[in-house]
Amino acid sequence: MIEVKNLHKGFGDVQVLKGITTTFYPGKTNLIIGQSGSGKTVFLKSLIGLHTPEKGTISFDGRINTNFTEEEKQEWRQEIGMVFQGSALFDSQTVEDNVMFPLKMFTKKSHGEMLERVNVVLKRVKLENSNDKLPAELSGGMQKRVAIARAIVMNPKYLFCDEPNSGLDPRTAIVIDKLIQEITDEYQITTVINTHDMNSVMEIGEKIVFLNKGKKEWEGTSEDIFETENEAVVSFVYSSNLFKKVREAHLNKTK
């Protein structure tokens, strides 16, 4: 579980995050949404320790990350998995080497032990027998699955995903969403996803935090978001005619 209390972060005279308080739960897909400039990226970077808050706390299962010693910080970093926008795979390395990279960096396992773990996670993302392929030989969806395999190879407690559907077609995006949701539930990971994809919001939004101008404007589930009267949320989520019709149909059905 990740608990955020009264989080503030700014750069110079610009205050980006303005007192955000929320909780992200294990075994749930926790989504952060909002317009460009709402503070989503700064919020995510604060969660993973790339930005230090000026005020407020972020605690991981009761441990406040700004209080960590260097040794504790290293241990905490090994509990984190990250799926980057665009996958961020090493082009010159095979699938096997890409997924094995965190194990080489942070463990003292033998090559055989590391290979066994790599094969387990590749099978989990349905990429068994792809060990020797290079990223250029894979589709965008397959590259994303390699990125997910690399993110979970260390058995993380916390998984962060930055726009995991970026560049994917709608059908493949749904497959990636479901895979992340299944892995989150299966391993009871605390998963936080930064996204602008409204399909993701509707499909896997078990907890949604909507940021607006650096503040938490609203939070709820994918079911709640259909019925909210919050004008900022409605304007953002239902900006397209298609989603407006989806919301109208849902509201009519529940009357």
Residue 8's pLDDT is what? 96
Question: Residue 220: which of 37, 45, 33, 59 has the closest Cα?
Answer: 33
Q: Does 140 score more than 70 pLDDT?
A: yes
Classify residue 199 by burial, with Cβ atoms within 10 Å: 0-12, 13-18, 19+: middle
Q: Give the angle 234-238-244 at the CA atoms, nearest 5°.
A: 115
pLDDT band at residue 255 using 50, 70 and 90 as cut-offs: low
pLDDT, mean of residues 96-100: 96
Q: What percent of the chain has pLDDT over 70?
A: 98
CB 136 within 8 A of CB 145: no
Q: How does residue 229 score in pLDDT terms, banded at 50, 70 and 90?
A: confident
If you average pLDDT over residues 212-236, what whole number do you get? 90
User: Two tokens at 41?
Assistant: 């990226």
Query: Residue 177 is which amino acid?
Result: D
pLDDT, mean of residues 61-78: 88
pLDDT of 131 higher than 80: yes
pLDDT for 64 beyond 70: yes
Q: What is the mean pLDDT of residues 58-66?
A: 91
Q: Report the pLDDT averaged over residues 8-24.
A: 95
Residue 113 in this model has a pLDDT that exceeds 80: yes
**pLDDT > 80? residue 249:** no
Domains and CATH numbers, the chain: 1-79+158-220 (3.40.50.300), 88-155 (no CATH)
Q: Is the pLDDT of residue 250 over 80?
A: no
Does the pLDDT at position 5 exceed 70? yes
- State the Cα–Cα distance between residues 169 and 48, nearest whole angstrom: 28
Contact, 8 vs 53, CB < 8 A? Answer: yes
Q: Which of 174, 204, 173 is nearest to 191 (CA)?
A: 204
Quick one: pLDDT at residue 245?
A: 75
Query: In the predicted model, what is the mean pLDDT of residues 116-140?
Result: 94
* Predicted confidence (pLDDT) at residue 143 exceeds the cutoff of 90: yes
pLDDT for the residue 168: 87
Task: Summarize the confidence of residues 123-147 as an average pLDDT.
Answer: 94
Task: Give the range among 38-42, 45-49, 181-185, 233-237 with minimum mean pLDDT.
Answer: 233-237
Q: Is the pLDDT score of 243 beyond 90?
A: no
Between β-strands 80-83 and 158-162, what pairing exists: parallel, antiparallel or unpaired?
A: parallel
Strand order in the sheet with 80-83: 80-83, 158-162, 190-194, 29-33, 207-212, 215-220
| CA neighbor of 29 nearest in space, from 169, 155, 172, 202 | 202
